[in-house]
Amino acid sequence: MLRTYLDFADHAARTGRKMKLTYFVLDVFTRDRLSGNPLAVVLKADELSSTRMQAIAREFNLSETVFVNAAKGERHTAALRIFTPTSELPFAGHPTIGAAVLLGLQHKQSAVRLELGVGNVTAIMERIDKRTGEAKFALPQLPAATGKAVEIASVAKRLGLQDSDIGCDGMIPAQYSAGLPFYLVPVRDTRALEAIALERRGWADTFKGERNSVYVFTKTPNERANDYAARMFQVSHGAGEDAATGSAAAALIGMLAEHGGYGDGHHAIAIRQGREIGRPSLIDLQFNIEGGQLRHSGIGGAAVVVAQGVLDFDD
């Protein structure tokens, strides 16, 4: 079925009558359909302008849409361009995982080499069934602190919490990036995480910058399936909460490596996200610390195909 759609798009491109582009919708960071974070993947998008890509992403109106283009590198599988409904991103986790799973399934590849705005990655993909796979990749950019600290009282007010709710295991709010910057906000426990009630007024004054995305997290010592729970808010995007945010989880590695109490060695942790909005997700992180310094970081998760179709445009 997948190959039939690809052949159909190729034929349409050769005839010149219509531009027909195959797309798929996947749920990412989950094996279960209708959970996780939905993603649109548009194949063979080389003929699309940036303006048209942005318009298509706005039409899908998902947190991200990824456009698959021909790779520049001879040994690479594809080049990806990632768009939110309002802008292009150099990196995002769930589009990279979703595209890697889809391309791995289609091409029967266990190593999917992708060109991103922040550099090249090789995703290792494991097929689960004909529509489902798991992918993981090393981050092309190590996460690191960026920007200034944020005042706890102001953060608490924006999240509708008490000052005493902010902080976890000695960690305090800070800015980190692994290619995309986030404000990372540790909170006391899962009750504080669930109790968040956004105060949008003054959001940009507290969380300054072009991207004022906020990733709130806490430890989950009483939950077997994961080590942390998180929620991600960006009030400029629709409802303001994301179901699973790989780029934020990637940034969190930087904070955990510096302030999370992890010593030298290899560490593997899992983060749940999306439960509060009915889209449960699970993000896997791996990182190595040597001599007290972060030396390697990676992210992984599952994805499942839930829909496919054709975009039909006049040339």
- E strand intervals along 165-251: 174-177, 181-186, 214-219, 228-233, 241-242
Q: Which domains does the chain have, with CATH numbers?
A: 2-136+303-313 (3.10.310.10), 144-301 (3.10.310.10)
φ/ψ of 158, rounded to 5, equals: -65, -30
Is residue 115 part of the annotated active site? The answer reads no
Pick the range with the lowest mean pLDDT from 11-20, 40-49, 206-215, 271-280.
11-20
What would the pLDDT profile of 42-87 be if each residue is shown by its tens digit?
Answer: 999 999 999 999 999 999 999 999 999 999 999 999 999 999 999 9
In this predicted structure, the answer to whether residue 158 has a pLDDT above a threshold of 60 is: yes
Dihedral (C-alpha) 83, 85, 86, 90: value to the nearest 10 degrees? -20
Catalytic residue among 47, 59, 64, 223: 64
Give me the amino acid identity at 99: A
pTM, rounded to two decimals: 0.92
DSSP label at residue 163: G
What mean pLDDT value characterizes the chain?
A: 93
Closest CA to 65 of 37, 84, 52: 84
Q: 237: pLDDT confidence band, cut at 50, 70 and 90?
A: low
Residue pointed to by tokens 């266990």 = 110
In this predicted structure, the answer to whether residue 185 has a pLDDT above a threshold of 60 is: yes
What would the pLDDT profile of 253-305 be if each residue is shown by its tens digit?
Answer: 999 999 999 999 999 999 999 999 999 999 999 999 999 999 999 999 999 99
